[in-house]
Amino acid sequence: MKLRKTICRMLEMCPAAWYIFISSVKLTAFVLLCAFFLLLSWHGSMAEGYTQYMTAMSLYEIGESLLLIGVLFSVFIEDACRSRR
């Protein structure tokens, strides 16, 4: 029941907050997809592919950070829009 309320609240967000949220989700998906492809090309060899592995792990951590920052900014903008009404 709470999930339904959360989704309904998200669908009522102002356009600026919704744009930031959707853009951060898209950017996070792209970064995680790049990390996945780097891990596929790594072939499990630490001697030869250490830089690819570390780059993929860094991209994975950056993806989490991007999503968190995007959600926080969209919440701040949504709160500002709601307080003006």
- State the CB neighbour count (10 A cutoff) for residue 16: 14
Domain ranges in the chain? 2-84
Average pLDDT, the chain: 88
* pLDDT for res 77: 93
Tokens 């339904």 -> residue: 4
Token pair listed for 10: 């998200």
Q: What is the rounded CA–CA span in Å between residue 38 and residue 3?
A: 34
| pLDDT surpassing 90 at residue 73 | yes
Give residue-wise pLDDT tens across range 3-33: 888 788 778 888 899 999 999 999 999 999 9
Q: What are phi and psi of 13, to 5 degrees?
A: -70, 155
What percent of the chain clears pLDDT 70, i.e. is strictly above it? 100
Q: What is the rounded CA–CA span in Å between residue 47 and residue 52?
A: 11
